[in-house]
Structure 1
Amino acid sequence: MCPDTIVVGVPYPRVSTRRLWYAPLGEQKDDYIRFLKDELLPFLSERYHLLGSAEARLLLGDSLSASLTLMACIQEPDTFQRAVMFSPYVDDTLLSLVANSDDLHRFTVYHTLGNKEDDVKATDGRILDFVTMNEQLHAALDGTLKHYQYKVIEAGNHTWFTWAPELPHALEYHWS
C-alpha cells in the first residue's frame, strides 16, 4: 500500500440496512452512491490532500457492498474507477448495468470468491449460489475492463475469513 493512503470505513447501523444501501435494487442505493461522491469525498478533501483522479480512488466491499462498489464505478466513472469485490451479490440488474456500461474499459477490478459459496443462506433466508452468480459476472467483465483480476479461493465459503487473506493481494494489485 502507498504510504500516503487513507483508508475510510463506513459502517452500517444494522444488517437490514445493507440491502437498502448496497443491493442492485436497494431503495437507497443511489442515495448511498451520491453520499460517497457528494458528501464523503468533499468531507475528506477538506481534511486531507486527496488526488483528484478517479483512478486514485479504490472502493472495496464484500457481498452486497461488493455489488455497490461496481455500481458506483458504473454510475460515477469520473469519480470512481477502482474496485475490490469480495464475492459480490449478482442479479439481473447488476448484469444489465454491466452490459449497458460504456465505461468498463476505464476500470481496474480485483474480483474474488470462495469455491464453496454455492449454498449460502442470505440474511433474508434465501439460499443463494454465489459461485454461479460470480461466474456470470466474471464472464461479463472478462476482457472488457482496463485491468481485471479474478480469483477463486479453494475451500472458501461466504465469510470474511475466506476473503481477509486476499486483502493484501488486492491492494497490491491496485497499487503496485
Structure 2
Amino acid sequence: MAEGKMLEEKLFSKHLNEEMEVIIYLPPQYSPLYKYPLFIVQDGKDYIRFGKMPKLVDELTQTNEIQKSVFAFLPYKTVEDRRRKYHPDGDQNEAYIRFLADELVPFLENLFPSFQMAGSRFLMGDSLGASVSLKACLEYPYTFGNAILHSPFVNDDLLNMTQNAKPGSLKLFHIVGDQENEVETTAHTVDNFLEPNQKLNQVVTEKGFEATFQLFQGGHRWTYWQPFLKPSLTYMLPTNTFDLESMSS
C-alpha cells in the first residue's frame, strides 16, 4: 500500500508571539499540479499516536473511500498550554483562533495548492480541541466550513454562537458518549459533557445545519473516539466532493 508523506514545519505566530509546530501529511501520489482539501487537526500528536490517522488516511485514500487531502496536525506543548489555547475561556483562545484563520491557513495554502474556500477547509479535534474547532468555524464562517467534533466541551457561549450562526455555513460531524456525564478534566474538575452536547445537537437540528450526530456507548477516552475516525472522514469527504482540477486549468 502506498503511504503518504509526513513533513514538519514551523511558523512564528504574531498573534500568539510564539513559534508553532505543524506536522503535515501529504497523500500518496501527491502532486503540486492539483488542488486538495485541507484538514487542520487540533491535538495533532494525539490523532497521530492514538487515532493512527496517517495510516487510516492512507487506507481510505487507497480504497477510494475519501478524496486525497492535505492534513495539518497541530501539537500542543503542555496540558496547560492546550487549555489556554483551546478552552473557550482560555486567555489565548481568541489569539489562537486568529492564528488558525489569519496565519496558518495562508501559510499552508502558500505551500500546497488548495481550493481556497470555506467548504474545502476542515477543522477537527477532541474535547477542548473540538471546542476551539467549532468556535473557529463560528467566528470565521468564510474561512472554515466544516468541523469534526469528538466529545467537545460545550458551554453557554458556544451554544449561543451556534444558535446565531447561519445554517448554510457549516457542516458538522458530532459524537459524544453516554457515559460522559462525569468527566474528569485537566483542570481537576468533574464536568457533565453529555447534557451540553445533547443541547448542542438540538440547536444544530433546529437550525437545520448539515450534520450527523451519534451518541456512542462509552466515555471520554480515545478508546471510544478512534473507531469514529473513519466514519467522520468518509462523511466529511466522500470521493468526488471536489474536482481535483489541474492548477493550470
TM-score by length of 2: 0.67
2: CA distance between counterparts of 1:139 and 1:55? 23
Question: Which one of 83, 88, 91 corresponds to residue 27 of structure 1?
Answer: 91
The answer for the alignment partner of 2:207 in structure 1 is 144
Deviation at 1:145, TM superposition (A): 4.3
Q: Equivalent pairs: percent with the same residue?
A: 34
Deviations 1:94-123 (A, max 9, x none): 11212232x233210000011111111111
- Give the alignment of 1:58-69 within 5 angstroms: 58-69=122-133
TM-score by length of 1: 0.94
Deviation at 1:17, TM superposition (A): 1.5
Deviations 1:45-90 (A, max 9, x none): 1211011110001100100110111111110000001000001001
Q: How many residues align?
A: 173
Structure in which a larger fraction of residues adopt helix = 1
1: CA distance between counterparts of 2:188 and 2:114? 41
1: CA distance between counterparts of 2:206 and 2:74? 31
Distance 1:146-1:100 versus aligned 2 partners, 3 A rule: closer
AA aligned opposite 1:67: S
Deviation at 1:91, TM superposition (A): 0.9
2: CA distance between counterparts of 1:77 and 1:29? 17
1: CA distance between counterparts of 2:221 and 2:82? 15
Distance 1:169-1:65 versus aligned 2 partners, 3 A rule: same
Q: Is the 8 A contact 1:61 1:84 kept in 2?
A: yes
2: CA distance between counterparts of 1:38 and 1:82? 17
2: CA distance between counterparts of 1:89 and 1:126? 13
2:235 is the counterpart of 1:173: yes
Question: Which one of 149, 165, 190 corresponds to residue 127 of structure 1?
Answer: 190
Any gaps of 5 or more consecutive residues in structure 2? 1-65, 239-249
Question: Which one of 44, 58, 76 corresponds to residue 12 of structure 1?
Answer: 76
2:219 is the counterpart of 1:157: yes
The answer for the alignment partner of 1:71 in structure 2 is 135
The answer for the alignment partner of 2:145 in structure 1 is 81
Comparing 82-91 with 21-30, greater Cα deviation is found at: 21-30
Question: Which one of 146, 154, 162 corresponds to residue 98 of structure 1?
Answer: 162
2:185 is the counterpart of 1:118: no
AA aligned opposite 2:139: Q
2:101 is the counterpart of 1:37: yes
Larger CA Rg, structure 1 vs 2:
2
Comparing 14-23 with 71-80, greater Cα deviation is found at: 14-23
4+ long deviations beyond 4 Å: none
Task: Provide the alpha-carbon RMSD of the alignment.
Answer: 1.2
2:174 is the counterpart of 1:108: no
AA aligned opposite 2:111: R
